[in-house]
A and B are shown apart, each in its own frame.
Chain A
Amino acid sequence: MPTDWIMGLFGGLLIGGAAAIFLLVNGRIMGASGIIGGLVDRSGLGNWTEKAALIAGLIIVPAIMTLAMGVKPTYLTENLLVIAIAGIFVGVGTRIANGCTSGHGVCGISRLSLRGIVATVFYIGAGGLTVVLFKHVLGVI
C-alpha cells in the first residue's frame, strides 16, 4: 500500500538521521546488535553509559508513542519454540557477522562497504529462503 511506503520512507529517514547524528556527533556506528551485544558479552563496556542511554531511548520512545497513538501490533508468531529458535539465531548470527540490519545494512551500504553489502545479500537471501521454506513448503510460520 503506497501509504505504508511513504511511512516507510519517512521512518527510514529518521533511522538514517539518527545514525548520521551518532556518527558525526558521537563518532560511533549505530549498529543495534553491536550496541546490545557489546553489553551482553562485556566486550563493549568501555562506553556502556552511551550504549545504555541509546537503548533507553530506543525502548522508551516507542512505548510513549504507542501509549499516545495506540498500539501497533507486531503480529509476532505465537509459536514460542519458533520465537526462541529465531531469537537465538538472530543473537548469535549478528554477533558472529559483527552487524545486523542497522550496522551492515544502513551504516555499511551507505559507505559502500563490501562487508556491509555481502552481509546484507546473505541475510536477506537466507531470510527469503527461510520464509519460502517455512511458510510455503512446511507451513510452520
Chain B
Amino acid sequence: MRNFMAFIVGSLFGAGLLISGMTDTKKVQGWLDVFGDWDPTLAFVMGGAIVPMAVAWRFVEGRKPMLRDHFDAASDPKVGRKLVVGSVLFGIGWGLAGLCPGPALASLSFGGFGGIIFLIAMLAGMLWAPKLRKVLD
C-alpha cells in the first residue's frame, strides 16, 4: 500500500512539474535571470507548492502517518558548511542547465539525448557526493 501511494505521489509530482512549466529550462533560467527577461513563474509554482505542505505540517504534531508508525526524523538542524557549499554547487548546475533533480526525471521521456546525459551526470555526481562530504566534515 505504501508503494502504491508512493507511485500516486510520484505521479502527482510529475504531473505538477509538467503542468507548472518546471520541465522547461528556459522558464527556470528565466526566473534566475534577474538582469534579463525575468520570468516570475517559478515563484507561483513555489508558492502553490508551499501552501498544501504548510497545512500538512500543522497536522503532524502529536500524530502518526496513516501507513507508518512515525514521521521521518527532522534532519540535523545545523546550518553548516555542507549545507552552504552543497547549495551553492547545486545552484551553479541549476543555473547552467535549468534542471533540478525532480524535473530531470519528469522530462526523461521527452527531454531527448541532452536530458539523458544530464541525468547520467547527475547520478554520477550523487555517487561521488559521499566522498566529498567526508572532505567537508
Would A5 and B86 count as touching, CB distance under 8 A? no
Interface size of A in residues (CB-CB distance below 8 Å)? 108
Would B110 and A100 count as touching, CB distance under 8 A? no
Size category of the binding interface on chain B: 35 or more
Q: Output the least CB separation between B46 and chain A (Å).
A: 6
Bound CA–CA A129/B87 (angstroms)? 13
Q: Which of A125-141 contact B (CB under 8 A)?
A: 125-132, 134-136, 141
Q: Output the least CB separation between B41 and chain A (Å).
A: 4
Would B125 and A91 count as touching, CB distance under 8 A? yes
Which of B10, B67, B79 is in CB contact (< 8 Å) with A55? B10
Residues of A within 8 A of B36 (CB): 131, 135-136
Would A56 and B10 count as touching, CB distance under 8 A? yes
Which of A8, A26, A106, A136 is in CB contact (< 8 Å) with B50? A106
Closest to A27 in B: B65
Residues of B within 8 A of A114 (CB): 77, 79
**Proximity string of chain B (62-96) to chain A, C-beta cutoff 8 Å, 1 when within and 0 when not:** 00111111111011011100111111111111111
Would A126 and B88 count as touching, CB distance under 8 A? yes
Q: Output the least CB separation between A36 and chain B (Å).
A: 6
Q: Output the least CB separation between B103 and chain A (Å).
A: 8
Residues of B within 8 A of A93 (CB): 85-93, 125
Q: Output the least CB separation between A93 and chain B (Å).
A: 3
Instruction: Give A residues with C-beta under 8 Å from B.
Output: 4-30, 32-33, 36-37, 40-41, 43, 47, 49-51, 53-63, 65-66, 71-78, 80, 82-98, 100-102, 104-107, 109-111, 113-115, 118-120, 122-132, 134-136, 141
* A-B residue pairs, 4 tightest by C-beta: A91-B125, A11-B20, A12-B48, A87-B121
18 contacts between A and B (CB under 8 A): A13-B51, A13-B52, A15-B17, A26-B68, A32-B13, A57-B10, A58-B13, A75-B25, A76-B118, A85-B121, A87-B118, A90-B118, A91-B124, A92-B89, A92-B128, A96-B82, A97-B82, A124-B91
